[in-house]
Each structure stands twice: as C-alpha cells, then as structure tokens.
Amino acid sequence: MRDPSLVHQPLGVEPPKGRLLPRNTVVPSCGKRLRAALLLGIGGWRLLEALGVQPEVCHLNEGHAAFAVLERARGFMQETGQPFEVALAVTRAGNLFTTHTAVAAGFDRFSPALIEHYLGGYAEQKLGISLRDLLALGRLDPNDPSESFNMAYLAIRGSGAVNGVSRLHGKVSRQLFEPMFARWPQDEIPVGHVTNGVHVPTWDSAPADDLWTDACGKDRWMGTTNTLERNIRSVSDAELWHFRTAASKALVEYTRERLSRQLTASGASPAVIDKANHLFDPNALTLGFARRFATYKRPNLLLHDPDRLLRLLTNPQRPVQLILAGKAHPADQAGQNLIREWTRFIGQPEARPHVVFLSDYDMLLTEHLVQGVDVWINTPRRPWEASGTSGMKVLVNGGINLSELDGWWAEAYTPEVGWALGDGREHGDDPAWDAAEADALYGLLEREVIPEFFKRDKSGIPSAWIRRMRESMARLTPLFSANRTVREYTEQHYLPAAAAYRERAANKGAIGQRIVNWRNTLEQKWAGLRFGEVRVDTRGEQRVFEVQVHLADLDPNAVRVELYANGVMGGVPLRQELTRVRQLASAPGVYVFTASVSAARPAADYTARVIPNRDGVAVPLEAAHILWQR
C-alpha cells in the first residue's frame, strides 16, 4: 500500500507554521512531478530499508531520485544521533550522481512554495534543518528567495562523485555546472564521464548470436571481452555477407508484416494492404532512422531537399530504401509537425515504394530495426545528444553508423568504422549550418555509402563494405557494451565509493564530523586569506617561485598552494604544488611557499592560488573555495 504522506501530503509530522500553501491547496502539474520525485527518492530509499537492504553505494541516474540523499542522511542521523550536516558529509561519499542532460533546461526545478509545502515539515522535524537550509541545497544563491530548487544541484551536493555519459557530455556538463564552482577553471569542474554501453545479448539477433558464438564462444559477454576483437576478425567476407543479406531479408519481411497490421488498423483498403505485403527489396541498401521526434534530434535533416532525397532513393541501378520510426510527445507540436512532413513526403507516389514510417515505436520495433538495417543514421544537433545508444545496438548485428559527431559517436568514430557528419564543433540552431549538414549528408550517401555498398567483387561481395563492417563489429561492439561500462563504474566509482563511505561511517561518523568542522573553519576564515609578496628567480632552466600567503590563524595543512598555468595549444593545464618552507617570524600567520617549474614558459604564464586540502575529501566538489593571486 502506498504511503499517502509521500503522494498526497507534505512530508513530516506536522506542517510548519506560515506554510505558503495550505494543505488542501490544488497544486499545478509540476506538483505531481515533485510528488513522483519524492516517491522515487525518499520512498525508494525507505523501500530498501523495509526490505532489509543496506547499500553502501547509491547510484543516482539523473536528478529525479535526488531526494534519496536526504533520506539516506536521515537514516544515518537516526542510527548514530549525528546532525544532518555530518550525516550528509558521511553518506554523500557513497552516492554517485550520473547526469544524462545536455541542456540546463532539462533539469527538474521546483518552486520554493512547492518545496515548502511538501518538504518543510520533513526538513525541520526529520532532518533538523530549516527550510532555508534545505532550499540552499538546490540553489546557486541561497540568499535569493525567488530562486527555484534544482534537483541536479541537490544531487551534486549530496554525492561524492559526478559523471556524464560520454566524453563530450562530460565536457558539456562541466559547462552546465560551472556556476556552482565559481572561479574554478572549467576543466577542473568535478564532472567526469563514463560512456554508456548497451547490453549486447538483448539486441543481437539469433543469427548474430550464432555468428559471434562460433567466433568468440557462448560465454563471450559473461566476463572480460579482451579477445573478442581478435576473434571476430577471423570471420570470412563470405560468411559476413551471407549473415547480412539474411538480416536484410528478415527486416524486409518484418517491415511488410508490421506495416500491413498498421494499415489494417487504420482502415486501409485491401489493395493498399496487399501492396504493403510486397514492399521493399531485400537486396537494396536499407537505411534506418528511429528515435523520438524532437527538434534537437533533427529527424528531418534528411528531408531538407526532398527532390534530392527522392532521386537518391529511386535510382534503379542502386536501390535504396528508408525505414523511419518514432514518436513525438503529444504536447510537442514541433515534433508532431516533423512527423507530418515525413508523412507528406511518403504520400508521394514516387516515394511510397521506397520509404515507410512505422508507428507505435517500441522496443520490439527497435529490436528488429537494429538487427536488420545496413546503415543507422543519427543527426542530432551537437552537443545535445548526451550519449545515444541506438547506434550502439546495430554494432553486434553488422550495421554501420552514419552519425553526427556527438555523444558516443564523437569518441567512437574513425574512418574505418563508419561515417561522420559535422566538424566536431557547436553551431547552435543556425539554419545555414543545418542546410550545410544536410548537403553533407546527401553527399556522403551519394559519393561514399551507396557506391561502396553496390561495388561487388567477382563473388558478388562488397569487399570494402565488409571491411568497414568487420572493423565496426570488432572495434566498437566490445567497447560500447555494458561489460565495459559496468566495469568502469565498478572500478572508478562503486568500489572507491563503498570504501569511502565505510571509512566516513566508522565510529558513528567521526570522520564526517571532522570534515564538517574543517569545512566550517574554511567558511569562517577564508575571507581573511590573501597573497603577499611573490618573487621569481630564474636559475638555469628552472624558474623558482617564492610565494607569501597570509593564512591568518588557519591551519596551513588545511590548504594547498599551487602554481597554475593554462595548457599550451589546448593541452592539459599545469598544476604545480608549492612546498611550505617557513613561517615569517615578523608576520604571524604568514607562510612562505616555494616551487620550481621549467623556464621554457614565461613567468607571467603562472598564477599562484590557494585551494582547500584534506585527505579523503573531493575538492572542489565538497569544498569549492579558491583564492587566486591578483
């Protein structure tokens, strides 16, 4: 039975006085979304407790479940008697936040009134903190009473590590969260990445399973994948081509069957349904395009020049066919219009034999498409595709990707494994750039993709195509499988997080208490820190920096003094720690730090800075103070 306090009423024993919304107020639809987040985060953690599950690591996928960090801290408070601040410092070490959003507008935000209505009592009576302190966990500026509550900010402040879902998305996420870490260089914003992968056995066809089993063994996805690349290369051209032609035939048969059912349900005439049963050619090049129809995904880029697309599809010497599938949100009129544009194009008599739009897009349809298409096309507007996994699903089945250099494809692409759109830079929603990329897409199809598919050797095998297909299967399938993804999460995050949580939780959170005390001291004394004299001497091939820092009465072990220089030609920035050598007798609280760097760079390239320092604490994630030499 659902706990009504999680769904219909505010959390807490009694509502605080001065509530902005009366208990029986009808709340807007965003209130429903907030209640769902409460059910997922707080209710989800309570469910684990009720089941006797005591996880050391909690992995938050996007901010929807971020309230779990509060409930986990509350549980630690109840267990140990520690205050909320200490409990959060302890439990956050065992939390990992993975963001999947590439734009700031994608994060859930709730009004202060809604947070007060649903969480005001919970904050004061369960967590022992004020509403202001709770709201501060989800705000950039805790002193701005009008700022909304951002679930991603809560997740970051309640986690010991943060990551995006591809290398490029990690960079994009560092840009998105840069305001939380004022004055820190963008490359030091504490967001890493673990690129997504797919569970290969879910998406491979039965013939693909047989092919990989013969080459790599039945248990190939049950352990390490180190030998898969070498083993799959042993499959001959003839075997790979036979495998692909069979896959194309199976997809054509499925497409005919599904389209016939679709037409029957819509009341089409028997003649139209009969034509559908003979649609498409198993020997044609089959392009696949299936995803949610949203403007940023640019599903109509291929439709930019309808006449050129029609010529491409209707060439009798090199037949090409296109299978489309997808749906738009009912409230997304722009997405609905994109589908209507394709419907009008397909309605032309010349196009109808070569293009089909399959409705009711679902996992079963996706499964058949990724198993049978020759080329998977993806045209998002960079950098809005955080990762993307649809193109990964074709790899095991011998499909080849033609995609924008965005998400996973930005790190997967090489000329040997597929085709790429774009120049690897961001251009916003510039119509001129969209037109240029549409032209490039047609050009790739006309000059490279289609000719390569139809250029056959004396055995009727497209050897160049098979070579590219084999490289894609061998290099990319293991790399973008869930095997690699889970291993990276385990090694980079789960095991370290579990160890960090155990260390902080020991002795009823004693280390957590010390961390809080250290952080509070930084907060109180940081404004008093300043740089004194900075001297630079050149000694042969070294520049020796001597930097004076006024630490007042702050423990010098609580900070780290560094020299920082921007990377050269886009390279990695240089961070050189300075060593504390003495305290000035004439000036209490003033310490001298020194370091040597290469004289190859001008002294002016280097800037001294002071940052927090404590073993076992993630800086700047848990302590974002920073002082730069002026």
Query: What is the model's pLDDT at position 467?
Result: 98
For residues 125 and 13, the answer to whether their CB atoms sit within 8 Å is yes
Torsion-angle region of 198 (φ positive above 0: left; ψ -120 to 50: alpha; else: beta): beta
Condensed to tens digits (0 to 9), the pLDDT of residues 97-129 reads 999 999 998 999 999 999 999 999 999 999 999
Query: What is the model's pLDDT at position 20?
Result: 38
- Extract the residue ranges of the chain whose pLDDT is less than 50: 1-9, 12-28
Query: What is the model's pLDDT at position 29?
Result: 55
Closest CA to 629 of 599, 596, 605: 605
Domains and CATH numbers, the chain: 4-196+490-509 (3.40.50.2000), 200-480 (3.40.50.2000), 529-628 (2.60.40)
Residue environment code for 517-539, b if the CB has 16+ CB neighbours within 10 A, otherwise e: ebbeebeebbeebebeebeeeee
Give the DSSP H or E segment for 506: helix 495-525
Condensed to tens digits (0 to 9), the pLDDT of residues 483-507 reads 999 999 999 999 999 999 999 999 9
Quickly list DSSP for 173-196.
HHHHTGGGGTTS-GGGSS-EE---
Query: What is the model's pLDDT at position 181?
Result: 98
Report the residue count for the chain. 630
Condensed to tens digits (0 to 9), the pLDDT of residues 167-181 reads 999 999 999 999 999
Quickly list DSSP for 61-90.
ESGGGTTHHHHHHHHHHHHH---HHHHHHH
Query: What is the model's pLDDT at position 392?
Result: 98
CA dihedral 57, 63, 64, 70 (to 10 degrees): 60
Tell me the backbone φ, ψ of residue 185, rounded to 5 degrees. -60, 145
DSSP state of 147: P
Distances (CA, A) of 504 to 86, 154, 163, 489, 507: 10, 20, 22, 21, 8
Query: What is the model's pLDDT at position 361?
Result: 81
Query: What is the model's pLDDT at position 164?
Result: 98
For residues 413 and 437, the answer to whether their CB atoms sit within 8 Å is no
Closest CA to 304 of 421, 441, 404, 429: 441
Query: What is the model's pLDDT at position 329?
Result: 86
Give the DSSP H or E segment for 201: helix 200-203
Condensed to tens digits (0 to 9), the pLDDT of residues 293-307 reads 889 899 999 999 999
CA dihedral 214, 217, 221, 227 (to 10 degrees): -100
Tell me the backbone φ, ψ of residue 289, rounded to 5 degrees. -145, 105
Condensed to tens digits (0 to 9), the pLDDT of residues 396-439 reads 999 999 999 999 999 999 999 999 999 999 999 999 999 999 99
Tell me the backbone φ, ψ of residue 79, rounded to 5 degrees. -75, -35
pTM of the predicted structure, to 2 decimals:
0.92
Structure tokens at 366: 């996706």
Question: Cα(406)–Cα(412) distance, rounded to whole angstroms?
Answer: 10
Query: What is the model's pLDDT at position 22?
Result: 40
Query: What is the model's pLDDT at position 434?
Result: 96
